Amino acid sequence: MNNDPIILAFCCHYCAYAAADLAGSMRLQYPSNVRVLRLPCTGKLEVNYLLAAFERGVDGVIVAGCLEGGCHFLEGNLRARRRTERARELLAEIGIEPERLEMFNLSSAEGSRFAEIVTLMSERLQRLGPSPLRKGRESVHEAVEQMSAEAEAALAGDER
């Protein structure tokens, strides 16, 4: 639908990305307006990645990392939580609802939780309405595709 919020999900390769995969294998229904962007770990996330997403007009951002204590790189998810908090403070300072950004923790076995998270954020963003920075849906989709392609290219480089 044209009124659906555009959501970008920064997902850790070891948990949320696999959980999203599992949600698909389980044929679970969740809103299709989320674009999953794979990170090697949420510890890779920087505050300016989050701000860049909002600057390009996305309506909301999900950060999804491993359960606390379960990070493949020990504390990447804990760092991501602090960076997400800082980005939320900055959003409030700028004048954008900080609720548009939230971090969740889940394991790779929680396909249904992934579906729940996306549904929750989608409903929340429906209530908040479109981002005041969004111009046209097409330009946002293009920007999201570009960010996703850049992340995948960086990841491919890391894996080589």
Positions that interact with another protein (CB under 8 A): 46-48, 51-52, 54-55, 90, 93-96, 132-133
In the complex, least distance from residue 54 CB atom to another protein, rounded to whole angstroms: 6
Please choose, from the candidates 3, 110, 23, 5, the residue with its C-alpha nearest in 3D space to the C-alpha of residue 62: 5
Q: Please say whether the beta carbons of 141 and 104 come within 8 A.
A: no
Q: How far is the CB of 1 from another protein (least distance, A)?
A: 25
Buried residues in 57-67 as b, exposed as e (16+ CB within 10 A): bbbbbbbbbbe
Q: How far is the CB of 46 from another protein (least distance, A)?
A: 7
Residue 94 CA to residue 90 CA, distance in Å, equals 6
- Least separation in angstroms between CB 87 and another protein: 9
- Name which of 73 and 107 has its Cβ closer to another protein: 73
Name which of 50 and 62 has its Cβ closer to another protein. 50
Four-residue CA torsion sign, 129, 32, 48, 78: positive
CB of 48 to another protein, least distance (A): 5
Contact 92, 1 (CB under 8 A): no
Give me the sign of the Cα torsion angle 129, 134, 139, 141.
negative
Structure tokens at 153: 């290219």
